[in-house]
Amino acid sequence: MTEPHQAGFKSIPIEMQPGTYQWCACGLSKNQPFCDDSHIGTSFEPVEVVITEARKYSWCACKGSSKKPFCDGSHKQLPEFVAYMEMIAVQAAPIQAGNI
């Protein structure tokens, strides 16, 4: 495994309290965005994050952010995200006689 697994295609917003956290860099954790030791046996290690201010943080789930561990919107460039947004747009389109 040389590339991280994309654990999601949008950010994970969480109200955080000050403390030290381990962000999952491999994308395999079942407790995203945090490490659950699923990286063991891979070349990945969790990223230690020290939160000093209690507030909402947007954690990166696609593992492609340039501001890891936080989201920078990179997931919006992923083909899976684009396809998902297109699917939602199709479902949300009003039904017209000509569309059926």
Under the rule (CB under 6 A), what is the footprint of ligand FES?
Answer: 24-26, 28-29, 35-39, 44, 46
Question: Angle at CA 66, nearest 5°, toward 63 and 70?
Answer: 65
Rounded to a whole number of angstroms, the minimum distance from the CB of residue 91 to ligand FES is: 33
Rounded to a whole number of angstroms, the minimum distance from the CB of residue 24 to ligand FES is: 3
- Residue among 24 and 75 whose Cβ is closer to ligand FES: 24
Closest CA to 4 of 62, 49, 46: 62
How many CB atoms neighbour CB 26 within 10 A? 21
- Residue among 46 and 58 whose Cβ is closer to ligand FES: 46
